Structure 1
Amino acid sequence: MTDRFLVLAVDDRDANRLALRAVLRRFPEFELIEAASGEEALLMVVERPVQLVLLDVNMPGMDGFEVVAHLQSIELTRDIPVIFLTATAKEEGFVQRGYELGAVDYLAKPIEDHLLISRLRIYKRLYESRQQLKSSNRSLEQTMLQLREAQQSLLQHEKLAALMPMVSAVAHELNTPLGNCQLTLSILRESSSELLQQWHSKQGIKRSELEFFLNNQVEATNILSHALSRAIAIVARFKQVSLSDHNLLLSRFDLAELLQGLAGLHAAELASRKVELKLDLPEGLRLYSCVGSLSRVIDELLANSLLHGFAGRSGGHIQISARLLGMEKVEICYADDGLGMAPEVLDKVFDPFFTTRFGQGGSGLGLSIAYNLVTGLLGGALQARSVEGQGSQFLIQLPLTAPSPAPA
């Protein structure tokens, strides 16, 4: 059953309130309470959940305008609709003032029954619609809260899920060098134990046996040194996902000179794989940016081409070109004619620890590092395009002046 609509009639004349009471008594959807003064009305709207006020304008003491002003000043009563009841033409001149103070409607006395009920039903429907909207908003807020909680939970699960490939990759990459260390130490322990037993025996140790043992020791320490260096390098590479260890020093440099220098550094490696690197760079294009970070980005792109783009084949082409974008940006285009990437690989190409060559030299960090450097320290954007079987292209957009590094 729908709750009754609570109406407060405020009028200093008993006869007027009696007339309103007689009308509303015939309509059970309305409940009427009465106040004989403005002061009494203000007390009642605080004590009862009044949903509409029928307010006489001209009353002794606190008049209707003052009552409306007080209602508007209190948050609890600010939204209660007020209908002014006016008796004379003089009072009708005050209607505009009533609207300005916050009244929503007015009725002229003597009030026609059907007109009064019609207005009350309109505001009753508006009230019910507003209550329904509030209820919907509360439900929506609750739903949004639940969605946020679910999202946070999902993010935590995603973070844990993202950690699993990392842990697996670290474990797999470290397994070989640490396994070599363990095997070598086991051999050292066994050979040392045998030599010690022989030393304590009556037979003694021959010079040739001692030389053989020492040679094995040297070889074993070399194996240990190489394996531990490999393990340290793996850990260091995983740490490079963070940008905090990179040199943040900004300097002015010529882009063509930088890339030509990098091409020279990689020339031997590219030649051994029969990969041709072509540069198409404008002269005099200077940037004020992080030389080390940009060099690292190009290094990672070259490494990606050699490891993935030209995997299982000899020969290929890489081209690096650049052009100005307006007066404040440069676009560097890196392209190879390698194997390309399938759409599902392209979607994840910048994700950390994602690799298609797990256990074959791929850590899944190279392009992630490049992406973090470009979008972080260098203040730019990095986009990958590729068609399987038709090579890959990486577009790097950089500001000519990199943003200043944030203070630590």
Structure 2
Amino acid sequence: MPRFTVFMGLLAMTDDFVILVVDDNANNRFALRVLLSRLPETEVIEAAAGEEALMHTVTRDIHLILLDIQMPGMDGFETARHLLMTERTRNIPIIFLTAVFKAKEFIERGFAIGAVDYLTKPLEDNLLLSRVRFYQVLHARENRLADVVRQLRRQERSLSIALSQAEAANRTKSIFLANMSHELRTPLNAIIGFSEVVARSATIGPEDRKNLEIIYRSGNHLLALINEILDFSKIEAGRVEVVDEATDLGLLLDEVIKLLLPRAEQAGLTLLAQVETIPAVVRVDATKLRQVLLNLLGNAIKFTRQGSVVLEVRGDPATEGAVRIEFAVRDTGIGIALADQRRIFEPFTQIVTHAIGAGTGLGLAITQRYLSMMGAELTVESTLGEGSVFRFTLVAQLATEAVEVPASKGAVIGLAEADRGKRILIVDDDPDARRLLVQILAPLGFALAEAVDGMDAIARTASFCPQLILMDWRMPELDGLAAMQQIRAEQGEKAPPILMCTANVLGEQRSEAIAAGSSGFLVKPVRRDELFAALEEQLGLCFQRESTEQQKAAAVVISPTDLVAEIATLSDEIRDALRKAAEELNTSEVGALLARVADDHPHLARHIAAMLEEFQFEELIALLHA
């Protein structure tokens, strides 16, 4: 047989436990082979000398060596030293065998070389078998452990690949969301901004003003949907953190109720808060808690046709600097079927018809995620046709620091004489965005200049010497971030404050802008109050504003009780006709009927018209039936 074939055959793998017996005495080797054959799954290989033993370790996988010490030529100690010098063989267990009467010297020398065990001749059969069986079991366990390690490493590699793919997908999603946010917010900035500007004009008629209010309201509704999708995406990507801060809980609850009260009154509902024994100031993520309450109360209003929506808040006595606060949102709405209660917290789930189910289906999913991050759990109890109760409990630390209550500010109407003429440079590649800011700021008395991109901004900064720059981020040629850095590098301490004004709304982009030297960050669509607050802070000015009395005079609100009472004064004919037109979704007929009652009931006519603009036919029908 060719030598190569023999060599390959010797290298063939086996599942047996392979024992190499090394002894110059053939009778000893024979006796050991017969004895070891009693062990299952065991193969015995023999070697008459140390050199032959080393050759066997090259061609075979050896699992245990029984090594005689006294042999001609290379003795057992020398053979063991050679085995320990090679990576392939240094971890093979070696049991030394000796017939020397004074075995202690040999034992100490053997262990010093690296033997794992030592037996003296004549060998006791059971002792030898038990020792060999021990190493056989140990070898089997090591093999199983090695298999587990290999499997874990394969899983680790698979997980690493999956993680890399997930991170790449997240980066792609983040880029997509940033791009979509920018593309959607840019036109919304014009829609919301210009409708607000034009609505303030004294020259437009009542019908045009109503149309503008519809545009403004629809734009804000679309913006809310975009924000929900972005918020949920940020939560899923793990880019949302809980930031606790000292919060006046009573003030936060009052703010939430005031924000939603007009919407509840328009639907003919009673909205109120019942608050018991809450601490004055606690440490909590106020932004997330406010959003949670707005989502729950907003849903309750949307799915309640008549009756009330109540926010119940109760605090337990404080212990060890913390307080347990129970929240419940209770409504008398349409209720939720038991089967639907199990899935309402799933993303993009809507359980009602489109007539009252408008939205992304993300509100409760976001609410649940936020509460989970804050250590709370949202639960629901509901009965069809009777209403629902959503509950959660927060454990909050008491805060010792006082919370500054922001002063109520009237609408901005101009600049003080000393502040008029302050120079502002508006940088944006979108002409509509520049035009909007000009129309907001120019009437107040600012001196304005415009730049169409980053390069133009650098040149205009040098020639116009602005006292503040409103800088867009995404622009051709040179973006706003790079332009800002170059302006600061060229002008040093003389550089004006620069407010980044952008439709890029991801948290890391805000951090990147601030780290690069931005004095502030405004998100498109730009809110007038946020813009004015930033200008006051950066320019050290104080706007002239309407008085509180002027604001109150401009606001006319009809309460739910008055609304029902005023509907009751209508004739049966008008009431029945309105109800029939509403049930048929006949907006033209409703409009014609409202024109008939507008002279005697102007507030009622405006209120019902506003309900039609919000497509609140179900709520209107319920009111007419009341």
Q: Same fold (TM over 0.5)?
A: yes
Letter in 1 for 2:298: A
Q: 2:137 aligns with which of 126, 131, 135?
A: 126
Report the counterpart of residue 122 of structure 2 in structure 1. Answer: 110
Report the counterpart of residue 589 of structure 2 in structure 1. Answer: none
Matched residues in 2 for 1:49 and 1:77: separation? 9
Alpha-carbon shift at residue 33 of structure 1 (Å): 3.0
Alignment of 1:9-408 (within 5 A): 9-11=21-23, 14=24, 16=25, 18-24=26-32, 29-36=43-50, 41=53, 44-57=56-69, 76-77=88-89, 79-92=91-104, 95=107, 103-111=115-123, 114=125, 118=129, 122=133, 125-126=136-137, 129-130=140-141, 133=144, 137=148, 230-241=221-232, 242=234, 251-270=245-264, 272-284=268-280, 286-308=281-303, 310=304, 312-323=305-316, 326-327=319-320, 329-338=322-331, 341=336, 344-357=339-352, 359=354, 360-376=357-373, 380-389=374-383, 391-400=388-397, 408=511
What SS does the aligned partner of 2:102 have? helix
What SS does the aligned partner of 1:334 have? strand
Alpha-carbon shift at residue 235 of structure 1 (Å): 2.7
Alpha-carbon shift at residue 72 of structure 1 (Å): 6.3
Matched residues in 1 for 2:118 and 2:375: separation? 62
Over residues 337-386 of structure 1, what are the superposed CA-to-partner deviations in whole Å (9 max), with x where a residue is unaligned?
A: 4466556544444433223236322422222333444455xxx2231222
**Structure 1 residues 314 and 96: CA distance shift in structure 2, 3 A:** farther
Alpha-carbon shift at residue 21 of structure 1 (Å): 3.1
**Structure 1 residues 394 and 75: CA distance shift in structure 2, 3 A:** farther
| 118-127 vs 361-370, which moves further | 118-127
**Structure 1 residues 329 and 127: CA distance shift in structure 2, 3 A:** same
What SS does the aligned partner of 2:377 have? strand
Alpha-carbon shift at residue 53 of structure 1 (Å): 0.5
Matched residues in 1 for 2:208 and 2:254: separation? 45
Is residue 7–residue 33 contact of structure 1 (8 Å, CA) maintained in 2?
no
Alpha-carbon shift at residue 134 of structure 1 (Å): 5.7
Alpha-carbon shift at residue 248 of structure 1 (Å): 9.1
Alpha-carbon shift at residue 73 of structure 1 (Å): 7.4
Alpha-carbon shift at residue 278 of structure 1 (Å): 0.8
Alpha-carbon shift at residue 334 of structure 1 (Å): 1.9
Matched residues in 1 for 2:297 and 2:62: separation? 75
Is residue 300–residue 309 contact of structure 2 (8 Å, CA) maintained in 1?
no
How many residue pairs align between the two structures?
Answer: 342
Is residue 261–residue 271 contact of structure 2 (8 Å, CA) maintained in 1?
no
**Structure 1 residues 361 and 82: CA distance shift in structure 2, 3 A:** same
Q: Which TM-score applies when normalising by structure 2?
A: 0.42
Alpha-carbon shift at residue 387 of structure 1 (Å): 3.1
What SS does the aligned partner of 1:240 have? helix
Is residue 274–residue 313 contact of structure 2 (8 Å, CA) maintained in 1?
yes
Q: Alpha carbon RMSD of aligned pairs, Å?
A: 5.3
Is residue 95–residue 116 contact of structure 2 (8 Å, CA) maintained in 1?
yes
Matched residues in 2 for 1:307 and 1:25: separation? 87
What SS does the aligned partner of 1:256 have? helix
Report the counterpart of residue 200 of structure 1 in structure 2. Answer: none
Matched residues in 1 for 2:240 and 2:128: separation? 77
Identity %, equivalent residues = 26
What SS does the aligned partner of 1:387 have? strand
**Structure 1 residues 348 and 400: CA distance shift in structure 2, 3 A:** farther
Is residue 340–residue 387 contact of structure 1 (8 Å, CA) maintained in 2?
no
Over residues 28-49 of structure 1, what are the superposed CA-to-partner deviations in whole Å (9 max), with x where a residue is unaligned?
A: 9422234336xx7556534431
What SS does the aligned partner of 1:122 have? helix
**Structure 1 residues 344 and 117: CA distance shift in structure 2, 3 A:** same
Alpha-carbon shift at residue 298 of structure 1 (Å): 1.6
Letter in 1 for 2:231: Q
Matched residues in 1 for 2:14 and 2:229: separation? 66
Structure 1: 5+ residue stretches without partners: 160-173, 175-214
Matched residues in 2 for 1:246 and 1:128: separation? 50
Is residue 333–residue 395 contact of structure 1 (8 Å, CA) maintained in 2?
yes
Matched residues in 1 for 2:46 and 2:96: separation? 16
Over residues 46-104 of structure 1, what are the superposed CA-to-partner deviations in whole Å (9 max), with x where a residue is unaligned?
A: 44311211123467998756765775676643552322212234224654775687644
What SS does the aligned partner of 1:388 have? strand
Is residue 378–residue 390 contact of structure 2 (8 Å, CA) maintained in 1?
yes
Matched residues in 1 for 2:55 and 2:77: separation? 16
Structure 2: 5+ residue stretches without partners: 1-12, 171-183, 185-205, 400-506, 512-626
Alpha-carbon shift at residue 110 of structure 1 (Å): 3.1
Matched residues in 1 for 2:63 and 2:129: separation? 16
Report the counterpart of residue 170 of structure 1 in structure 2. Answer: none
Is residue 292–residue 370 contact of structure 2 (8 Å, CA) maintained in 1?
yes
